[in-house]
Amino acid sequence: MDRGKIKVLVIDDDQIWQNRLQRMLVRWGYQVAVARSTKQAEAVLRQAGSFDLITVDMNLPQADGKGWGLVETFTKASHKPGLIIVGEVDFSPLEIRNLLHNYGHAVDFVSKSAFDPIRLKHIIDELLTQSVETAVGDKVDAIGTDHRTSLTGQVETALRFKTTPAQSNLFPNIRRVPGLTLTPAEEALLRRAFAGSREIFVEREFRSGYSGAVVLLVSPGPGQAQMVVKLATPADLHREFTAYQKFVKRASPQNTARLQGQPLLTDDEQLALLSYTFAGGDPRWPTHSLQAYYESKGGAAVAAVLDRIFRVYGRQWWAINRPQKFVISEHYDRLLPVHLKLKPTVIVEPHPRTLVAGQINASALHDFDLQPGQLIRLQGFHVAEIRPDRQQVKLTANPPPGEASAPLRLGLETDEVTTYRPGDHLETLDAVIIATRQSLLAEAADSACPAFDPETPHLNLNGRTYANPLLNLSDLLDRVVETRASTIHGDLNLQNILVDAETGFAWLIDFAETRRGPTLFDLQRLESLVITKLLPSAIIQAGLEPVAVADLLASLHADAPSPIAPHSALQESYTVLAALRRLARQYLMDDRDWEEYYLGLVITLLGNLKYTDLGVVGRQLALVGAATVRALMRKAIVVAPAALASHHAPLPSQYMALLNTLSTKSLVNPLPRVSLRYTLNLIGCVIIYILFCMLILGILSVLTVILMTEAAIVASALDESSSSQN
C-alpha cells in the first residue's frame, strides 16, 4: 500500500493541534481530511466513504457529553479503520481502556502533553499493519491457503514501508534505525546521492530548525566517513547552497561541516537533497543536538559548549563587526508570522482593495486595517517558495525603492500548489483574507491564555499584571537602532548545534539563513528558545507558574547577575541564560544599555508563538517573557554598590578580532571590568610609589652632598699639609 493512497481523518476541536497533526501527516505522504466536531466528521465520512486511519480527540464535545458516540460507531463498521485516541493525559482512564478492548484491534492512545512525533510514526505503522493484515487474512480465508504466503508478503512489504518489489533490485540498499521512516521521494534522493555504495545506514535524524527539513546522519559503508544529509524544498536548499558559498566556505573554522556539491532534485522538483561532511568527533560516540545534550549533561556543560562555539566561530563571524544603523523590521520581521494569510478567490466588484508590489510597506498595510474575510487584489508579487506538504505558497513584495523596511510576506493556501514555481511573477491575483498577523498572534496567545484579550492593554496571568506585548508591535518594528553588524548564522537554535556526547566537541549545521545581520541576532534566538523549549519541563516538574520566567529575566537585568537562580528548580536553564547574556554583553554598543538587545528579544519571543510544536506552557513563557522584557527596557540596570563601573566603550572590532585570534581564552567576558574602587586604589598606589621614589632620591641627594663635603674637607686638609712641609 502506497502512503499516498492512505486516507487519514483528523477529528479535533483544537485548531492548533489539528493544524500541527495535519501538516505532519501530509509531510509523511498521507491524504488527510480534518473535522472539528462530530457533525463535521459525520459529513466527511458520508462524503469520503471510509478512511484507513482516524485520530479522535477524547474530549471532543458532543450532545451526550461523552464524545464517544462517534468512536463507538467505528466498532460496528464492517471495515474498521486504524484508530488513534488523542488526549491531554499520559495514561488512558477506564473508559478509554474499555473502548480499546471493545474495538478489538488497530487502536492506540497518544498524549498531547507528552507528544512524540517518532512514537506517532511508529504507532501509525503498527496500526496500519494490523488493519490491512486483518483484511488480508479475511481475504486469504476466502480464497484458500495456497496464496497466503504471497499475500502476506505483499502486505508486509507495503505496510511497513520497506522496499517495494520494484525497488528491491535498486542500490544502494537503505537500512535505518527503528522508528525512523522515509518517504519514497526521500529514499530515491538518498539512492542518487550514494549511488556508488551497495548499502547505506541511516542511523539518526536531527530536527532542523523550523524549516520542516529532514536532517539525517548517514553511514555510506565500511571505511567511509559519515555524512549529514538534509532533505527540504529546492528553494530552501538553493538558498542554503548560495549562503554557504558566500559566507561559510572561506570564512569558517576547520571543524565546520563542508558542503558536498549542489542540491539534488527529484524529477518533479518538489524535494531536494544537500550533503555535508560529518564534522563530529569520534564516530563511535553518539552525537546530540544541543537540546539533547542539555537534557543529559545540564546547564553548565551547555554554557561551556556555547563558549567554545562563539570563541571558535566568532573569530570569523561575530567578532568581525562594525556599527550600523537599521530599522528593526529589516532583520526581525522574518521571525513573525506572515503579514496576511490568503486563499484564492474571484472578485466581481469593480474596485477592490489592491496591494501593488513596490508601492506599499508593512506599516502602510497595518494602516489599512485589513480583517479576515476581506477581498483584496495583489499585483506584481513574486513566488518566494512553495510548500506542497502544507498546500501553501509564500509570496513576497519588496518595499518601495530606497526604503529601509522588510518585504511583505503573504501565505497563499491553495490546492494547486504545483502550478506555481519559485520566482514566478504574478501579474494579478484575487484573494480573500483568512488571517492577519495580528489575528494569528492573537489566536496563538488565546490558546495559551484563554482569558487573555489581545485588544486589552494588559495581560493578567497567575495573579500578575503585565503590559500587553502584542500591542503596538508595528511601532516596535519601525524603531531605528544602531548596533553591531557581522556575519551571523541566522537560524542558530537548539537543533542545529551538534555536540559529541563524550567530548563536548561542537559544530554547526544548516546555513540556509547565514547572512550579514545584527551580531546579537543569534544570541537573541538562542535565549528565546531556552525560555520556550528548555524552561517548560522544569517549570512543570517543579509545579511553578509560567510567571517564574519574569523573576529569571529580572535577575539577569543587572551589571553583575547573580549566578544563583531565583528558583532553584530552574537553575540549569538559568545557567544557560546567564552564559548567553555574558556572550551578548561584549557585542553591545554600550555594555550598560541593554535596550538594543531587548528590542530584538521581544520580537524573537513573540515570533516563537507561530510554531505549532510549542506547548501551552512554552507559549505562556513567550508571552510573559516578551512583556517582562518590554518593561525592563524602561528600567535602569541594577548595579551593586561595590561594582560601580566606569563607563568605557568596547575596543574597536579590528582589535577585538586580533585579541580573539591570539587568545586561547574564553570570549565570554574578554574585557575586564574596572570598578571605581579599583581605579582609586590603583591611583593611590601609583602616588605612594612616586612619593617613595622621591624620598629615596632625596636621601641619595643628601648623602651625595655629605660625601662631597667630606671629600672637599679631606682635599683641603691634604693641601694644607703639603704646603707646611714645603
Q: Which three cell numbers stand for residue 250?
A: 572561506
CA dist 515 → 165, 370, 602, 655 (Å):
46, 32, 21, 23
Q: Which three cell numbers stand for residue 601?
A: 528579544
Whether 215 contacts 180, CB under 8 Å: no
Considering only residues 113 and 337, tell me which one the structure prediction assigns the higher pLDDT. Answer: 337
Residues 102 and 187 in one domain: no
Residues 95 and 224 in one domain: no
Q: What is the mean pLDDT of the chain?
A: 79
713 domain-assigned: yes
Residues 202 and 135 in one domain: no
633 domain-assigned: no
Residues 514-572 have pLDDT tens digits of 999 999 999 999 999 999 999 999 999 999 999 999 999 999 999 889 999 999 999 99
Residues 225 and 257 in one domain: yes
Residues 84 and 210 in one domain: no
Of 264, 288, 312, which marks where a domain is finished? 288
Question: What's the pLDDT score for residue 96?
Answer: 52
CA dist 344 → 340, 384, 414 (Å):
13, 17, 7
Most confident of the ranges 114-123, 304-313, 357-366: 304-313
Residues 150 and 9 in one domain: yes
SS3 content of the chain, % helix, strand, coil (to 5): 45, 20, 35
Residues 95 and 193 in one domain: no
pLDDT over threshold 50, residue 654: no
695 domain-assigned: yes
Among 40-44, 343-347, 373-377, 521-525, the range scoring the smallest mean pLDDT is 40-44
* DSSP summary character for residue 244: I
The residue segments making up the domain with residue 284 are 173-288
pLDDT over threshold 50, residue 149: no
Among 40-44, 67-71, 597-601, the range scoring the smallest mean pLDDT is 67-71
Residue 177 CB-half CA count within 13 A: 9
Amino acid, single-letter form, for residue 403: E
Residues 191 and 116 in one domain: no
CATH number, residue 234: 3.30.200.20
Residues 602-653 have pLDDT tens digits of 999 999 999 888 889 999 999 999 999 999 988 888 776 544 444 444 444 4
Question: What's the pLDDT score for residue 38?
Answer: 81
Whole-angstrom distance, CA of residue 539 vs CA of residue 618: 10
Pairing of β 480-488 and β 31-35: unpaired
CA dist 188 → 38, 94, 170 (Å):
40, 45, 10
Of 134, 159, 184, which marks where a domain is finished? 159
pLDDT over threshold 70, residue 433: yes
Nearest to 520 by CA among 557, 484, 556: 484
Residues 65 and 35 in one domain: yes
521 domain-assigned: no
Residues 7 and 151 in one domain: yes
Work out how many domains the chain is built from and give that number: 3
76 domain-assigned: yes
Whether 106 contacts 80, CB under 8 Å: yes
CA dist 696 → 159, 701, 705, 706 (Å):
96, 9, 14, 15
Residues 82 and 184 in one domain: no
Question: What's the pLDDT score for residue 117?
Answer: 72
Of 272, 288, 304, which marks where a domain is finished? 288
Residues 39 and 120 in one domain: yes
CATH number, residue 61: 3.40.50.2300
447 domain-assigned: no
Nearest to 584 by CA among 668, 507, 512, 706: 668
505 domain-assigned: no
572 domain-assigned: no
Give the pLDDT band (50/70/90) at residue 267.
Answer: confident
Residues 8-33 have pLDDT tens digits of 999 888 877 888 888 888 878 888 89
Considering only residues 592 and 137, tell me which one the structure prediction assigns the higher pLDDT. Answer: 592
Most confident of the ranges 315-319, 478-482, 520-524: 520-524
Nearest to 82 by CA among 23, 131, 154: 131
φ and ψ at residue 33, rounded to 5 degrees:
-120, 155
Question: What's the pLDDT score for residue 382?
Answer: 93
